[in-house]
Amino acid sequence: MDDLGPLCVGIDPHASLLGDWGLGDDVAGLREFSLRVVDAVGGRVAAVKPQAAFFERHGSAGVAVLEETIAAASAAGTLVIVDAKRGDIGSTMGAYAEAFLRDGSPLAGDALTVSPYLGFGSLAPAAERAAATGRGLFVLCLTSNPEGRQVQHARTDGVSVAASIAAHAAALNAGAAPMGSVGLVVGATIGDAVRGTGTDLEAVNGPLLAPGVGAQGAGAAELADVFGSARRQVLASSSRGVLRAGPDAAALRAAADAATQEARAALRG
């Protein structure tokens, strides 16, 4: 992130966005869109984040395109965060870990988003597999959807769920330098939720993935306000803010470069 700047470009092939690019809402359009994004920004941004759902909705052929997209980004020297938000228990969580975190799996990127809302301990198979293969996790903590508050802001013995999730991540990252590989997902548009829930982001000692930059409304002021002293740990994620500049490759690169500079100014200043 220090060399390329703190920006992750989401690869979210919405049907409407495929149409805006003049592509069909089919596997051919999905493939053209995804590989064009990788070709435009690969090697120029810190990471890309394909959203698995938009590939899975096309069935097995769509999953094959996800595998191809992961491989193309990796070949371009760009980190890949597979945004699949997996969460389950026992052997099922272990199977998800095998699919997305095992060496040699075509679905394995460099990190995976996971959901802790069956209890943070349910993520143990993923945490263990990630540690064994040198990959990372981004654990949902404070998200921007209004429904998330009901769970994430709830308190037990005075401690919010979000603060508890952050503390569990911090325990897994203890002693790691410069930081550990268990990060959190914290929406860039959540306002004062970090302070309101008593969540100590700086103590996590891990990366913070911040969706919502650009088209969803978060700019420099919002990033600085939400993350405060933890802002140097942040990887700002922009999807539509960059993707709507397509399909022209030069326009995509320009949009990604502008978003990178904005994020760098907000988070590294």
Alpha carbon 174 to its chain centroid, in Å, reads 22
Query: What backbone torsions phi and psi does residue 53 show, to the nearest 5 degrees?
Result: -60, -35
Residue 165, C-beta contacts closer than 8 angstroms, at least 6 positions apart: 116, 120, 139, 140, 141, 184
Residue 171, C-beta contacts closer than 8 angstroms, at least 6 positions apart: none
SS3 content of the chain, % helix, strand, coil (to 5): 50, 20, 30
The span from the CA of 104 to the CA of 98, in Å, is: 10
Tokens of 86: 């997996």
Of these residues, 85, 153, 244, 253, which one is catalytic? 85
**Annotation marks residue 85 as catalytic:** yes
Tokens of 149: 């508050």
Query: Active-site positions?
Result: 85
